[in-house]
């Protein structure tokens, strides 16, 4: 892809240093200690020891955990270029939907936040592990991604390339668009009323997010951001994470009843439909039998 390095998006939140570890806040205890002279002395000792240890005492009081010494630092140049790429793709997606949503759906677009994490993370949807892969939480309108997923995408799933990485972000922003349009709420209500159709409805929602990713890809192509081979990278990524392909790689028999995201062929087809049309109205996976 043709993209420009330019720092970090204002809609990017970096939590890699904490490793997503949960912890309770010590602030209530702090307020209790302030009431006594002994407590004040303990607080002073705590701050001095923290300073000597090189740890930010405020991060400990607020419940955060110090960075794992074995993890890559936030300014690690090995990751910084990828962080800037993710920022670029995030901003470009949101700029496109900022134009498309009012024009095509008659409603304003509200920006999502992309949260970078390492290993595990707490979201408004609960704790999540990096093993789950990137995800969108409708409760806080955040996209969550551990950059290590891109290594898995390349090594485990055989889908390398920057446009493959961009497709992943575009798919999650597609879920954000669904949230803004109220589609995800309707689907979850239908799943509650028809539990036997829960997986089938999940597949339809995921395929629509693939199609929405293609809508962004259409705009990127028209603006000259794509290079030869980029579209193929995106299609390969969509195919690589189809339910049937994942089940096969895991040594399991293909079981359509367990599908939650769609087959490789379906994911490729719907991404391509959005890419070719550039029209979100072409992404009605719920009214289409394809």
Tens of pLDDT along 230-278? 999 999 999 999 999 999 988 888 998 889 999 999 999 999 999 999 9
Q: How many domains does the chain have?
A: 2
Q: Specify whether 40 is located in the same domain as 89.
A: no
Q: Specify whether 50 is located in the same domain as 111.
A: no
Q: Specify whether 42 is located in the same domain as 172.
A: no
Q: Specify whether 50 is located in the same domain as 161.
A: no
Q: Specify whether 170 is located in the same domain as 275.
A: yes
For 83-138, what is each residue's pLDDT tens digit? 999 999 999 999 999 999 999 888 999 999 999 999 999 999 999 999 999 999 99
Q: Could you give the CA distance from residue 139 to residue 119 in angstroms, rounded to a whole number?
A: 21
Q: Specify whether 133 is located in the same domain as 108.
A: yes
CA angle 249, 254, 259 (to 5 degrees): 100
Domain assignment of residue 29, given as a range: 24-61
- CA neighbours closer than 13 Å in the CB half-sphere of residue 53: 12
Residue 72 domain-assigned (yes or no) = no
Continuous H helices in the chain: 27-34, 37-53, 57-61, 77-100, 148-155, 162-181, 183-193, 198-222, 230-240, 243-249, 264-277
Residue 257 domain-assigned (yes or no) = yes
Residue 134 domain-assigned (yes or no) = yes
First-last CA distance in the chain: 30
Residue 35 domain-assigned (yes or no) = yes
Neighbours of 102 (CB within 10 A): 12
Please list the residues that pair with 192 across neighbouring strands: none
Res 76: pLDDT: 64
User: With 0-12 CB in 10 A as exposed, 13-18 as middle and 19+ as buried, what is 11?
Assistant: middle
Res 74: pLDDT: 53
- What pTM was computed for the model? 0.80
Q: Report whether 211 contacts 177 (CB < 8 A).
A: no
Q: Specify whether 55 is located in the same domain as 167.
A: no
Residue 103 domain-assigned (yes or no) = yes
């Amino acid at each position: 892809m043709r993209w420009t390095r330019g720092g970090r998006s204002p809609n990017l939140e970096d939590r890699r240093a904490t490793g997503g570890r949960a912890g309770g806040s010590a602030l209530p205890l702090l307020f209790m200690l302030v009431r006594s002279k002994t407590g004040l002395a303990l607080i002073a000792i705590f701050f001095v020891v923290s300073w000597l240890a090189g740890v930010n005492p405020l991060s400990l009081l607020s419940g955060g955990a110090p960075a794992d010494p074995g993890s890559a630092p936030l300014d690690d140049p090995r990751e910084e270029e990828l962080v800037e790429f993710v920022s670029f793709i995030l901003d470009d997606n949101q700029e496109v939907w900022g134009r498309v949503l009012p024009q095509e759906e008659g409603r304003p677009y509200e920006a999502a936040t992309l949260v970078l994490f390492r290993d595990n993370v707490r979201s408004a949807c609960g704790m999540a592990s990096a093993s789950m892969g990137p995800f969108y939480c409708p409760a806080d309108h955040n996209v969550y991604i551990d950059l290590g997923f891109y290594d898995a995408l390349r090594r485990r799933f055989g889908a390398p390339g920057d446009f493959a990485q961009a497709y992943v972000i575009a798919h999650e922003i597609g879920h954000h668009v669904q949230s803004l349009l109220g589609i995800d709420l309707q689907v979850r209500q239908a799943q509650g009323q028809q539990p036997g159709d829960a997986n089938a409805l999940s597949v339809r929602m995921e395929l629509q997010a693939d199609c929405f990713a293609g809508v962004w890809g259409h705009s990127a192509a028209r603006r000259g951001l794509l290079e030869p081979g980029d579209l193929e990278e995106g299609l390969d990524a969509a195919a690589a994470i189809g339910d049937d392909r994942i089940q096969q790689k895991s040594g399991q028999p293909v079981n359509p009843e367990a599908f939650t995201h769609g087959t490789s062929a379906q994911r490729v087809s719907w991404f391509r439909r959005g890419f070719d049309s550039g029209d979100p109205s072409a992404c009605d996976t719920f009214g289409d039998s394809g």
